[in-house]
A and B are shown apart, each in its own frame.
Chain A
Amino acid sequence: MAEHDLTPRLALHLDRHLVLPLLEFLQERGLYPEEEVLAAKLRLLAGTNMVDYAMAIHKSLHHGTDDDEVPEDMVARRAEVVASYVALQEAPSPLVAFLRDPQLVQLLRSDKQYNARMLQERFQIGSDQIEALYDNAKFQFECGFYSDAVAYLNQYRVLSTNGERTARALWGMLASEILNRNWDAALEELNRLKEIIDSKNSSSPLNQLQDRIWLMHWSLFIFFHHENGRNGIIDLFFQDRYLNAIQTNAHHLLRYLAIAVVVNKRRRNMLKELIKVIQHEQYCYKDPITEFLECLYVKYDFDGAQQKLMVCEQVILNDPFLGKCNEGNSITVPFRDEFFENARLFIFETYCHTHRCIDISILAEKLNMRCDEAELWIMNKIKSSKLDANIDSVSGTLNMTVNHVNVHDQIIESLKNLNKRTYMLAQNIVEPAQAALQAAQGD
């Protein structure tokens, strides 16, 4: 199943810290040998300041072997990190001291220029100190103290006048909020960042494209956790620019888009567009989920669709974003269940649309259900008047009611409208004339 794993491709567009949860998930699923995952983690952590964690992993990785001693360079690095952390804690810069005093903070206003001047004049806090705030935040972030990082960055964002670094601070905040699992705040940051990316016309198109792809990747964390994320992902990904970005350089995101569309009952109208994109990009990217949609809506190959659907289950379970379990209840995987429910419905609808008479047992097979289960399911559909059909229990078939638009109705329908339009037109022309006439008579 590892061939459908997207982690390597996703990781290219994520921050180091954001990859960690993905690796955790992989470790849990046991898709890869434990050592490999651990080694990957270790490599990942080498770039951060989370030395303790790295040490722990190192130990567990080399557990039982000769070299379970922590290597020298790690120890040295730990000392270094701790030293600078302690220094940072004990001797806060004047600006940090200023910000820690709530009364002084009251003095700040929303005007950045004013703040800068005020800090400079009254507290001798220059712009280099403000910039130092950013570096602090970065340090905290690397250490894994995400909430501290957010706090620092927030202050930095308020004070700084450096546009580019503010944008970078926003990225940092977004990452921190995601890692804090603070979805509402993260969504806010996301939108803010999106505005900046879209409005920035100075940067090259290539950078913009890259930023968008990053944004989409990061947003996956939010959208698959936030309660309103399912609409959010469709809204974001289907925007022209973002869809283009997907088609240009991030085809694998189509999986998430496909899942989101299938799962979301209210966005069924996007399905057509999705199919078009999937078909367009089938040379670059395909996985069971897109293939399922293609079988169903392009080839009308129901058997193929059903087979693909079976494969989809494993894909979803192995995906770090989709396969997450409900808290406390490890058996249900919400996305899998919803996806299957909706996919079944898709098959069923299409099947009914082309058939007049269906054997229920065959239908059950296509829907991946047991026969009686299927019958019950269909009965419910009919009862809730979602399906215009009846069951012939003797022969075990489902008979569809075929109703066609009468040709007469069709003609009448198309002509009715014309009448109204012409009338409107005539009125629009005549009324001013009459009004003018009356006005003339009135005089």
Chain B
Amino acid sequence: MASRFWGQGDSESEEEEEEVESEQGSDSDDDGGRGDAGRSSGGNRYLKNQEDDSDESDTGHRVIRSLRDKRNEEMRSIVDQMRNAMKINDWVSLQESFEKLNKHLEKVVRVNESTEVPKMYIKALVLLEDFLAEALANKEAKKKMSSSNAKALNAMKQKLKKNNKQYEEQIQKCRDHPESFEDEAADDKDMDDDDDDDADESDAEIEDPDKIAMSESEEERDEDDDDKEGWEQKRSKKDKLMDKQFLKDPSEITWDIVDKKLKEIVASRGKKGTGRIERVEQLTFLTRVAKTPAQKLEILFHVISAQFDVNPSLLGHMPVNVWKKCVNNMLLVLDILQQYPNIVVDTSFEPDEKETQKGADYNGTIHVVGELVAFLERLDSEFLKTLQCTDPYTKDYVQRLREEPLFLVVAQNVQDYLERVGNLKAAAKVALRRVELVYYKPQEVYDAMRKLAEQPEDSLDDDDAEAGHEHQAIDDNRGPSPFIVIPEVVPRKPTFPESGRTLMDGLMSLIYKYGDERTKARAMLCDIYHHAISDEFAVARDLLLMSHLQDGVQLMDISSQILFNRVMAQLGLCAFRAGLINEAHGCLTDLYSTGRVKELLAQGVQQSRYHEKTPEQERLERRRQMPYHMHINLELLEATHLICAMLIEVPNMAASTYDKRRPMSRTFRRLLEVSERQTFVGPPENVRDHVMAATRALNKGDHQKAFSVINSLEIWKLLRNRDHVLEMLKLKIKEEALRTYLFSYSSCYESLSLNQLTTMFDLSEQHAHSIVSKMMMHEELHASWDQPTKCIVFHSVDQTRLQGLLLQMADKLSVLVESNERAYEARTGGTLEGVPPPRRRGEGQDSSNMGKWQENFVSSQGRQGGGNRFGYSGRGGGSGQSGGHQRDRGNQGSRGGYGGGSRFQDGRGRNQSGSSARGGDGGARMVNLNRVGRV
């Protein structure tokens, strides 16, 4: 590149060409290497590009000429466009064309390496000036113009005036001798130079900067071109002088020059015509010429934020290579901070102008404005975004995933630094970021990650090193070696403890101590999740209950709610694996009650039948999506939920033929009804079909068929301890089959021997005995054992249909009376004390046997809270905003059976109602007294 500065003549052009090419080649190596084979498309493009280059240099002249013509053609076509626009009096498009023309001009000038402006351009200016004057003169036409057109006209007027000043002479000349400007094309060609194709390429890119974010490969090329462009531009502008200073006389560069330049570049942010990538390059250059470590640090901060600026839109993600460079810069920052402990990074302190002038040997603290945590968080979310945007089935995705350790190492170092300087609150935030990258990994995946990170001869790292080396080489080409050399103090490799648990525990204790509320809550959720995937249900459950998280989920932000839902799903799976069917059902049922699991877990967008989403909502939702590798397998989840529901619901249905007791799982009931309505039942295809087929078999007490249908599901292979789980499932199915059988057919038997039961259901005698005893104790089965003969003797206490209906009526009447009383209370404001308090149905049953309580806490909670649940069920179905939905759903999740800290409330409540019942008579008298008083 340096050769360009003095390379004007033809003799050197070839050499230059070569150099450019080699540079490009190395760049492409570097990028291709990092992207590996994954970015095959990018690599190909590069190859093609290279071929083009070499072709050009081989065949040389002819091709270049044609390109040259092409460029002239382009200019001509712009002029033609302008002419057309003039004809229809379209100032808007005219303005556009004018700008385009100017841009074009710059390149032509540069290419020509002469100060002379193409005659075609001058002619166009003249034309325009005339037309403008005409238009301004015609007042009436001006009035008729649309507002945008008029605006454009005014803008044009000013621009042209300014612009034309530069070319006043030529314009005058043109006006004088219009004929000499007619055949300019031929002359121009001769003056052209070999450099041209390069510039042309960049022209194409510059013309529409919007393309930048389109694809990575293009991006890279783009960047390369852009930086050349940037330097050329600079050279052509007034700071050419300073660059020369930088380049040729390293010793002359002072802090002030660098500072001035920095301010200039920083000020250019967001202005028109400053390429984002270009800014990054300029700043990167500055870091090398920085005079003091503090200044270098300051500039690095600007580089990093400029790198974040590269991607303008919220939806797209930061280009991968920029991200990587950003990571390197972060490490560099940390290096500096470690090397010079007297440099302090903060935002609160207002540094004076010359703060960074203090050199490395300065003794006091130097304040530099910056926010490490914010950078890190941004880095993390950019990483997440790339994964969100990438198709998970491509190699790109895997490749990107392999870069996770890169981030982890930065995070670890930042955290270490923050802990060292005592900013523990920020350290907790960083720790949370690390936790969020680790929490969903089971030990196997964690090990894989650890291995990946520790492999020294890994291709990835190799490439990185190479890239670094290459980079250095380019740097040397471009400018002087950095003044401030910072050794790599900070470790470049992440260190992981043996097990994910240890890592989590370490981070957790930091977060719990110093984190803010949200950080703590999220960390807690991650912790629970991690416990759940490591099959520690009891621990996970206790953490969830103790933290009272589900009380406050609906108040949390949406992403935390999603996390909460994920935790509940994982907890359900964990309980299922441990054979705790009721708990599993309790966890999962709320996720499935809306039929929007995908949305709740942020694992895909579900189309709603009832209302369309606005694009805005859709975009928001897409941004919340979980990257693919964090997904919870939905099929497995569904199977788990449905099987749990089946195991609970089938005996429940058999038990309550007469009184339609409240179904334990409405979703399951609904699915069952749908499947029963089918005229023909085909072989099961999806998970749902399988479970329905199993349900049908189980209903008949056919446990073998039920199990074999369930067993034939594909998803079981996803389970770690598959055999164990299936064994458990088999046992559960047998148990429930036995229960269902007894419920359904007990009325047909006078007695039934235990032996027969054990052979029918393939259960051990003891087990069967225990199940039947349990049913007897709960008064689900009206029977008792005859111990000497080992058989069940049934008591014929079954109600007739009439009696059953009567009982139902009694229930309904009591509900009626209750509501009457409530109405009275609401009216008078006092309680109706004379009346014995309403006896809950559940209570009546409970007192008579050792019943419901000893089912696990989840279901008992659910049952006790039955009344409440109805109240809740107005779940704001029509709330339009997706945000509202999410919140609403979090709410439901929170109800997931787990009654929070109120584990023992139900028992207590019962006691109280009992004691107040006793005081009934005394209360009646009091009512009378009251009444007298009132009248």
Contact = CB atoms under 8 A, between A and B. Distances in A.
Nearest to A427: B834
B749 interface: no
A174 B901 CA distance: 31
Contacts of B903: 244, 280
B546 A248 contact: yes
A300 B770 contact: yes
Contact of A354 (B776, B799, B806, B853): B776
Contacts of B47: none
Given A354-B785, A407-B803, A415-B813, A425 B820 contact: yes
A272 interface: yes
A436 B935 contact: yes
A201 interface: no
A431 interface: yes
Interface string B795-818: 101010001001100110110010
Interface in B552-568: none
A295 to B, nearest CB: 9
A350 B778 CA distance: 12
Contacts of A420: 835-836
Contacts of B538: 283-284
Contacts of A276: 853-854, 857, 860, 904, 907
B855 to A, nearest CB: 9
Interface string A387-407: 000000001010010101001
A33 to B, nearest CB: 35
B551 interface: no
Contacts of B836: 417, 420-421
B777 interface: yes
Interface string B827-842: 0000010111001000
B935 A417 contact: no
Given A407-B803, A418-B810, A424-B834, A354 B797 contact: no
A417 B811 CA distance: 12
A235 interface: no
A38 to B, nearest CB: 37
Contact of A301 (B537, B766, B786, B850): B766
A396 to B, nearest CB: 9
Contacts, number: 136
A276 B835 CA distance: 32
A411 interface: yes
A420 B837 CA distance: 12
Interface string B71-108: 00000000000000000000000000000000000000
Nearest to B774: A300
B399 interface: no
B784 A421 contact: no
Contacts of A240: 904, 908
Nearest to A303: B766
Contacts of B785: 354-357
A428 B834 contact: yes
A280 B857 contact: yes
A279 B856 contact: yes
Given A353-B777, A404-B797, A414-B814, A275 B853 contact: yes
A186 to B, nearest CB: 28
Most buried by B among A280, A354, A422: A354
A424 B935 contact: no
B683 interface: no
Interface string B888-932: 000000000000010110011001000000000000100100010
Contacts of A102: none
Interface string A274-291: 011001100110000000
A83 B836 CA distance: 73
Interface string B748-782: 00000000000000000010011001101100001
B824 interface: yes
B17 interface: no
B795 to A, nearest CB: 6
Contact of A355 (B770, B784, B860): B784
B793 interface: yes
A151 B856 CA distance: 51
Interface residues of B: mostly helix, strand, loop or mixed? helix
Contact of B901 (A244, A279, A359, A402): A244
A298 interface: yes
Contacts of B546: 248
A270 to B, nearest CB: 9
Interface in A404-440: 404, 407-408, 410-411, 414-415, 417-418, 420-422, 424-425, 428-429, 431-432, 435-436, 439
A98 interface: no
A243 interface: yes
A359 B788 contact: yes
Contacts of B789: 357
Contact of B835 (A275, A400, A408, A424): A424
A421 B782 contact: no
Nearest to A363: B787
B824 A425 contact: yes
Given A422-B817, A424-B835, A436-B935, A402 B803 contact: no
A283 B789 CA distance: 37
Given A300-B777, A432-B935, A418 B814 contact: yes
B203 interface: no
B773 A300 contact: yes
B787 A358 contact: yes
Nearest to B908: A240
Contacts of A198: none
Nearest to B927: A428
A439 B770 contact: no
Given A284-B538, A357-B786, A417-B836, A298 B797 contact: no
A339 B834 CA distance: 43
Interface string A80-110: 0000000000000000000000000000000
Given A353-B777, A425-B824, A359 B787 contact: yes
Contacts of A397: 787-788
Contacts of A439: 935
A418 B857 CA distance: 32
Given A417-B839, A418-B814, A439-B935, A279 B854 contact: yes
A297 interface: yes
B776 to A, nearest CB: 5
A429 B784 contact: no
B821 interface: yes
A283 B836 CA distance: 42
A386 interface: no
Nearest to A411: B806
A345 interface: no
Given A248-B546, A298-B854, A402-B795, A424 B832 contact: yes
B835 A421 contact: yes
A205 to B, nearest CB: 11
Nearest to A300: B773
Q: Please provide the 4 A-B residue pairs with the shortest distance between their CB atoms, ordered closest to farther.
A: A283-B538, A300-B773, A356-B784, A414-B810
30 contacts: A244-B901, A247-B542, A273-B853, A276-B853, A276-B854, A276-B860, A276-B904, A280-B856, A283-B537, A283-B538, A301-B766, A356-B785, A356-B793, A357-B787, A357-B788, A358-B788, A359-B787, A359-B788, A407-B797, A407-B803, A411-B807, A414-B814, A415-B810, A417-B814, A417-B839, A421-B817, A424-B924, A425-B832, A431-B931, A432-B934
Given A407-B799, A424-B832, 15 more contacts: A244-B903, A283-B537, A284-B542, A300-B770, A301-B770, A397-B787, A411-B803, A414-B807, A414-B811, A418-B814, A421-B817, A422-B817, A422-B820, A425-B817, A428-B927
